[in-house]
Amino acid sequence: MGDTLIGRRKWIDPEVLRERDILLDPDDIRVNKYVEEVRDRMVEAYISYFVVMVELERRHFGKNSYFSMMDG
């Protein structure tokens, strides 16, 4: 559903409707399980993209890279 909030998907997209139904389910256990799974995927994505961003930033800025400067 997050993609719909930033305009990447339509509210009528079947996957968005499925996610909506899960999040509005009266079964709190099912909702919490889904939210936990989404959070876990987001953390994994953040970590992997951060590693790539550090590599690209170092390559682009060389010795002036923030991360290279933090290495000492």
Which tokens sit at 36?
A: 């936990």
Phi-psi label, residue 62: left if phi above 0, alpha if psi -120 to 50, beta otherwise? left
Note the pLDDT of residue 65: 95
What pLDDT digit, counting tens, does each position of 2-15 carry?
889 999 999 999 99
What pLDDT digit, counting tens, does each position of 34-61 carry?
999 999 999 999 999 999 999 999 999 9
Note the pLDDT of residue 70: 87
What pLDDT digit, counting tens, does each position of 17-34 carry?
999 999 999 999 999 999
